Amino acid sequence: MRIRPFLAAVALLSAASPAAADTVARFSQLDGQPPIVIELADNGDSRMTVTDAAYVTRDGTTYLVLSDSGGRFSVTLPDYLALLAELSRAAPSAGGRMPDRVEITQAGTETVAGHSGTVHRLIGPGDAAPFEIVVSDDAVLRPVSLILTNLIATFIAQVEGQNPALAARIAEVLRLGAVIRFGPIYRLESVAATPVPRSAFDVPEPPLSRDAFRERILRAATPVAN
């Protein structure tokens, strides 16, 4: 099973489940970065802020909003994921044989921020420790989880180049319900019905084309000679 169709469908999934009321959720980042904040409007528009970036879904289109020395700019999520996959393919391989089979087992339940979920463990031959994803069947969390999937999709795109078996199995687990813990990376902290201002869904216009985005990213990554 390949992940490309999953990546292409992410924006459609997040836009397809409008909330019954405005909702704000927070996921802690276990590496010490500020919490991920998800703001979801009752019409399905959403904003997910991750450190200095934001994923904004408005009128059915998802954008990534970034900033650099030239200011704030936006790019559509499909163009961002396509460029991420392109750069991942061009990156030198880390070497070593990646497992061609990853097993999924259930390991009981876990409660995260007051919500119970099933622990799914993904492990390949010879792995010292499994990668765990905790999934809840709480329908209230599903719209928020679909937005978080936008972020996890970028993780999958990076993993796929080195370990397609693991990437495919992660995508399989994500379809089971609402993610309340994603390995040692993200963990649900809180979710509540809270009014969200419409200005939260503004994005810099127009979004960059894929070629313009590539040029801007590569220019920012090039060291400036003294």
Q: Is residue 93 part of a domain?
A: no
Structural contact between residues 80 and 63, judged by C-beta atoms closer than 8 angstroms: no
Q: What is the pLDDT of residues 106-117, one digit of tens each?
A: 999 999 999 999
Tell me how many domains the chain contains: 1
Q: Is residue 171 part of a domain?
A: yes
Give CA–CA dist 40/133, Å, rounded.
23
Q: What is the pTM of this model?
A: 0.79
Of the listed ranges 14-23, 50-59, 119-128, 130-139, the least confidently predicted one is: 14-23
The residue type found at 113 is A
Give the CA angle between residues 58, 179, 163 to the nearest 5°.
Answer: 95
DSSP state of 199: G
Q: Is residue 199 part of a domain?
A: yes
Q: What is the pLDDT of residues 118-165, one digit of tens each?
A: 999 998 776 678 889 999 999 889 988 888 887 787 767 666 666 777
Q: Is residue 226 part of a domain?
A: no
Q: Is residue 71 part of a domain?
A: yes
Q: Is 146 exposed, middle or buried (0-12, 13-18, 19+ CB in 10 A)?
A: buried
Q: Is residue 135 part of a domain?
A: yes
Domain coverage including residue 76 = 4-88+99-221
